[in-house]
Amino acid sequence: MTDRLEPQVPPRPRIALALQGGGAHGAYGWGVVERLLDEDIEIVGVSGASAGAINGAAVVSGYATGGAAGAKAALERLWGHVADASPLAPLDVGALGGPFFEPLLRKSLDIAKLSSRYVAPFLPGVRDMRALRQAVAESIDLDLLARQTRLPFYVAATHIASGSARLFTGEDVTLDALMASACLPELFAAVEIEGEQYWDGGFTANPALEPLLTEAIGATDMMIVQITPFTVEDIGGSVGEVMRRVSDISFNACLRRDLRALSEIQDVARAETSRDPRMRAIARVNLHLLSPPDELAGPSGTSKVDTRWSVLQDLREMGRAQAEGWLSANRDTLGRASSFKGLPEDMVRR
């Protein structure tokens, strides 16, 4: 009599999360990550820029002590504090009056953000990150974040003098580092760390992909949670809408560059048998780009500075729905193959 062979259970996918920034649209990223954490996966590393870094801080601190449930609770706590600190909270009218009030408010926010480029330098109080700093400090265990060793965590900021990216990790991930990563120069004064000044990490690494590819992390998959679409159908015609699209193109440029470079390196690494452990690690990682819906960046989309709770909840649900759709189409690729097939312009040329 032969022994029956027990069916082999495939290993859990080991996911490295790369989280793009996008101001209040980081709440969309909250929804995406929250839905991903419902799956039977293991998070093995996180990289983030701007709002992606702050989401990442919540994920890492929560995951270190409570696994997926802890990460989800930390994300909800973070965005609850962001909404509580919002100067727009008194204007959160919800469904009542929304069809009449919302278009006016969105237009006002566009005008305010545009004018901030010229007004804010003369009003130091406007450029204060105090509200965001307080929301992060009250919702994330920053001491644990710096001490924990369970999840490698990388925070990107832009070093102003050199124009290059700096990655904060380990004990260097402080509240100042998170603020530097989220410091949009048109809204906030530069953040100083060790005598050097920094702006938003999205200018130079949105987010940084390279550190997640090391053999030490051992990821089977890299999931890039994109906040700003590469392409949009309708740009709009107002000055505010045009400036929004200019900003989107700027913040996507480094992700576009890094994705193309990584894809080319992987093609080479997989075509050749390399003895270099770094190249072998790069070749093994499956790439996935979870792109947002077009309406997130179109002229009818919510402002990236609108942090009212009702707006954040809508963005969260949009993120969950987008992640659900991606999983329905691509769940079977996790741990097995890349679902990323190329950038939009590459697909057009094929």
Q: Look at residue 316 in the predicted model and tell me its pLDDT.
A: 98
Name the residue among 198, 155, 200 with its Cα closest to residue 304.
200
User: What whole-number distance in Å separates Cα of residue 194 and Cα of residue 175?
Assistant: 13
DSSP characters over 278-324: HHHHHHHPEEEEEPPPGGGTSTTSPPTT---HHHHHHHHHHHHHHHH
Q: Give 168's strand partners.
A: 155
Q: Which of 110, 176, 200, 248 is catalytic?
A: 200
Name the residue among 229, 291, 245, 226 with its Cα closest to residue 50.
226
Q: Look at residue 38 in the predicted model and tell me its pLDDT.
A: 98
* Whether the Cβ atoms of residue 231 and residue 291 lie closer than 8 Å to each other: no
Q: Is 274 a catalytic residue?
A: no
pLDDT above 90 coverage of the chain, percent: 61
Query: What is the bridge-based pairing of β-strands 196-200 and 191-193?
Result: antiparallel
Name the residue among 338, 331, 311 with its Cα closest to residue 35.
331
3-state DSSP of 141-193: CHHHHHHCCCCCEEEEEEECCCCEEEEEEHHHCCHHHHHHHCCCCCCCCCEEE
Q: Look at residue 1 in the predicted model and tell me its pLDDT.
A: 45
Q: Look at residue 89 in the predicted model and tell me its pLDDT.
A: 59
Residues ≥6 apart with Cβ < 8 Å to 70: 62, 63, 64
Whether the model pTM is above 0.75: yes
Residue pLDDT, tens place only, 65-88: 999 999 999 999 999 999 998 766
Q: Is 128 a catalytic residue?
A: no
Structure tokens at 52: 């992606």
Residue 234's alpha-carbon distances to 204, 239, 344, in angstroms, are 26, 14, 16
Residues ≥6 apart with Cβ < 8 Å to 326: 288, 290
What is the amino acid identity at position 256?
R
Lowest-confidence region among 43-57, 93-107, 142-156, 249-263:
93-107
Structure tokens at 254: 């480094």
Q: Look at residue 121 in the predicted model and tell me its pLDDT.
A: 42
What is the signed CA dihedral for 224, 233, 302, 69, rounded to 10 degrees?
-20
Mean pLDDT of the chain: 85
User: What whole-number distance in Å separates Cα of residue 172 and Cα of residue 176?
Assistant: 9
Q: Does domain 14-239+255-342 have CATH number 3.40.1090?
A: yes
The residue-averaged pLDDT of 169-178 equals 98
Cis? peptide before 207, omega within 30° of 0? yes
Q: Look at residue 90 in the predicted model and tell me its pLDDT.
A: 53
